[in-house]
């Protein structure tokens, strides 16, 4: 799926990212505090969503990884960022934020039950197992994949937002 995403034509990526961004903005506009990832490589661009949050007084948190633990720290327009071991920008700020209402997650694939395939570290699943919030994946519609194995410890998303639809998963 990484290869398929990387082969997406530049013009199609721009269009799909804009559609997904617009849907995410409509989805989050009534929230006060969200978590989102800082996109890298061929992931859906999240910078416009983050900019929207800053302009509309929605607090934003980014994931931070230490060892096997992931937690979220608040991002400010003036935040200093650095590249972590995965090549992803993280905040220098190290103060964990607990009261997140909604988390937007990266993924490689998703299925019709709301399970996601991430990058294999289990960071989001471990975090979601301990924290209650609305879990939203963002993906291109071609990242749908019905046939992948998921385990008891995998945490389902509540929603997936793609360039084609917003899908709610029932519990």
pLDDT at 120: 79
Q: Which DSSP helix (H) or strand (E) runs through 4?
A: helix 2-6
Q: What is the pLDDT of residue 3?
A: 75
Q: What angle (nearest 5°) sits at the alpha carbon of residue 15, between those of residues 10 and 20?
A: 120
The predicted model scores a pTM of 0.93
54 phi, psi to nearest 5 deg: -60, -45
pLDDT at 146: 86
What are the φ and ψ backbone dihedral angles of 152, each rounded to 5 degrees?
A: -60, -30
Report yes or no: 6 and 41 within 8 Å, Cβ to Cβ. yes
Backbone angles phi, psi at 161, to 5 degrees: -115, 120
Distance CA 102, CA 117 (A): 19
> How many domains is the chain built from?
1
- Give per-residue burial for 51-71: e unless 16+ CB within 10 Å, then b: ebbeeeebbbbbbbeeeeebb
Instruction: Give the domain range for residue 117.
Output: 2-168
The pLDDT assigned to 169 comes to: 94
Instruction: Return per-residue pLDDT of the chain as tens, 171 residues.
Output: 667 777 789 999 999 999 999 999 999 999 999 999 999 889 999 999 999 999 999 999 999 999 889 999 999 999 999 988 888 899 998 899 989 999 999 999 999 999 999 887 889 999 999 999 999 999 999 999 988 888 888 899 999 999 999 999 987
Residue with tokens 């937007």: 104
Q: What integer pLDDT is reported at residue 149 of this predicted model?
A: 82
What pLDDT sits at residue 1? 63
CB burial of residue 161 (10 Å; 0-12, 13-18, 19+): buried
**What CATH number has the domain bearing residue 11?**
3.40.50.10420
pLDDT at 137: 98
């Amino acid at each position: 799926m990484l290869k398929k995403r990387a082969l997406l034509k530049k013009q199609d990526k721009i269009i799909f990212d804009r559609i997904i961004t617009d849907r995410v903005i409509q989805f989050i506009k009534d929230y006060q505090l969200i978590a989102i990832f800082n996109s890298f490589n061929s992931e859906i661009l999240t910078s416009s969503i983050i900019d929207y949050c800053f302009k509309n007084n929605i607090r934003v948190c980014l994931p931070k990884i230490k060892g096997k633990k992931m937690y979220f720290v608040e991002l400010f327009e003036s935040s200093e960022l650095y590249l972590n071991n995965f090549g992803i920008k993280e905040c220098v700020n190290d103060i964990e934020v607990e009261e997140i209402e909604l988390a937007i997650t990266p993924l490689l694939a998703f299925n019709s039950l709301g399970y996601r395939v991430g990058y294999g570290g289990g960071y989001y699943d471990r975090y979601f197992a301990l924290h209650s919030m609305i879990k939203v994946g963002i993906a291109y519609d071609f990242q749908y994949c019905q046939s992948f194995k998921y385990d008891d410890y995998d945490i389902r998303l509540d929603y997936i937002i793609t360039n084609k639809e917003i899908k709610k998963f029932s519990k």
